[in-house]
Structure 1
Amino acid sequence: MGIFKRVKHMATADTNHFLDKMENPVSMVKQYIRDLEEQMGQAQQALAQQYWNERRYEAQIEETTALIMKRSRQAELAVDRQEDAIAELAIEEKLRNQEKLALYKTQHEATKNQTAALLEQMKRMNEKYNELVLQKQNLLSRIRAAQAIQASTAALQPYDMDRVHHGLARIEEKVWQVEAQAYAGIKAGEVLNAAPSYVEQEKRDEIQKELAALKEKRGTV
């Protein structure tokens, strides 16, 4: 495919429809931009060649025009001197160069038209390039916004209250167990602390009983 057809194809492509089919539109836009940059580089080289061709035809036109004028003067001088053979040669070369001049002018005009067409295509490519750059920036902004929304949505997901209630209930049961163990410890301590007093009272009663019996036996009551 020639450069003009490729440029025309890219200039008229439906970018949005093309990107909608891509899994990663940002990567596709970047690739499209790289392709377009390559095409623009080729178009610039072609434009340089066109300018060179124009200048070459202009030089040939100037040179041929000067030669035609020179042969015209030579033919006139030969006629004045009645040198018909020399005049015929000068006229023949003049006519041949007039044909060349007409061809050079036609080719020069065609080259200028091609240059103008190429400049127009490059203008369209540049517009498409700027459009794609903006498209890429827009896609990146939309992706970042979507990611931010997604992160916010994930953070705001409804909390599992049933799980919370169940967990709190288990915690409360654990607290009850700890409290029960603490209360049991207190009660056990009271019982243990009370036991020596009870034993000591029994011993005192037994001592008093033995003392009363001894006094009675000894007759000291």
Structure 2
Amino acid sequence: MGMFSRINDIVQANLNAMLDKAEDPEKIIRLIIQEMEETLVEVRTDAARFIAQQKTLTRERNAIEKSIADWQYKAQLAVNNDKESLAKAALVEKQKYVAKAQAIEEQLSQLTDSVDKIQQDTGRLNEKLVEAKQKQKSLITRKHSATTRLKVKAVDSAGKIDDAMMRFEHYEQRIDYLEAQVDAYDVTDQKTTSLSDEFAALEQDESIDKELAEMKKQSVA
């Protein structure tokens, strides 16, 4: 066996402690259940072998008991007919079968103890197996619940990110609008030349030209 070396190791194992220390509790509990089930198969195989031996020995014992009764009858018959030596010989044969019967009884007693112990161990193993399967079911339920909650959190987080991005884009649009307002002021503040201003400038240029011409004539004279 891998995790367990004896049936008692399985029965006395603290599943909670084992799972708390495991990096992958779901995998560990699956392996534990597998080993328990394999152990039960081995135990049942032993039980079947012992029961088969019990049946075989019981048949042998019944045959021996019949032989004992037969030799007992022969010994009594010899005594009744004053055949003492023959009676002793019959009793000797009877004792041989009695010894065989005693040996078989001892074997049957040992087999009975073994079968009783297997029944107890099987009961304890089944209880532990039920406990392990309940742990496995609990782990699967917890994993499913955690996975579902994680998906919900992920969707919620994605929604928050989208909201934040929308707020950021809205904020950028507001800034763009404010900057556009400033640019609009710059455009509207540019000075425009009216028609009267253009004529006034033209008259000023003409006056300057006349004065410059007069200055040139005086210089020549």
How many residues were matched structurally? 185
| Counterpart in the other structure of 2:213 | none
Using the TM superposition, give the Cα deviation of residue 177 of structure 1 relative to its aligned residue in structure 2, in angstroms.
7.0
| Counterpart in the other structure of 1:44 | 44
Structure 1 distance, partners of 2:37, 2:99, is 42
Q: TM-score, length-normalised on structure 2?
A: 0.72
Query: What SS class does the counterpart of residue 82 from structure 1 fall into?
Result: coil
2:115 equivalent to 1:122? no
| Counterpart in the other structure of 2:78 | 78
Using the TM superposition, give the Cα deviation of residue 86 of structure 1 relative to its aligned residue in structure 2, in angstroms.
2.0
Query: Which residue type is aligned with residue 138 of structure 1?
Result: S
| Counterpart in the other structure of 1:169 | 171
| Counterpart in the other structure of 2:16 | 16
> 1:98-129: CA deviations, max 9, x gaps?
12212211221221111011011011111111
Structure 1 distance, partners of 2:9, 2:93, is 48
Question: Compared with structure 1, are the counterparts of its residues 49 and 81 closer, same or farther at alpha carbon in structure 2 (3 Å cutoff)?
Answer: same
| Counterpart in the other structure of 1:66 | 66
Query: Which residue type is aligned with residue 10 of structure 2?
Result: M
Using the TM superposition, give the Cα deviation of residue 16 of structure 1 relative to its aligned residue in structure 2, in angstroms.
0.7
Using the TM superposition, give the Cα deviation of residue 83 of structure 1 relative to its aligned residue in structure 2, in angstroms.
2.4
Structure 2 distance, partners of 1:175, 1:46, is 88
> 1:32-55: CA deviations, max 9, x gaps?
111111111111110101111111
Query: Which residue type is aligned with residue 7 of structure 1?
Result: I
Q: TM-score, length-normalised on structure 1?
A: 0.72
- Structure 1 residue runs of 5 or longer lacking an equivalent are 188-197, 199-221
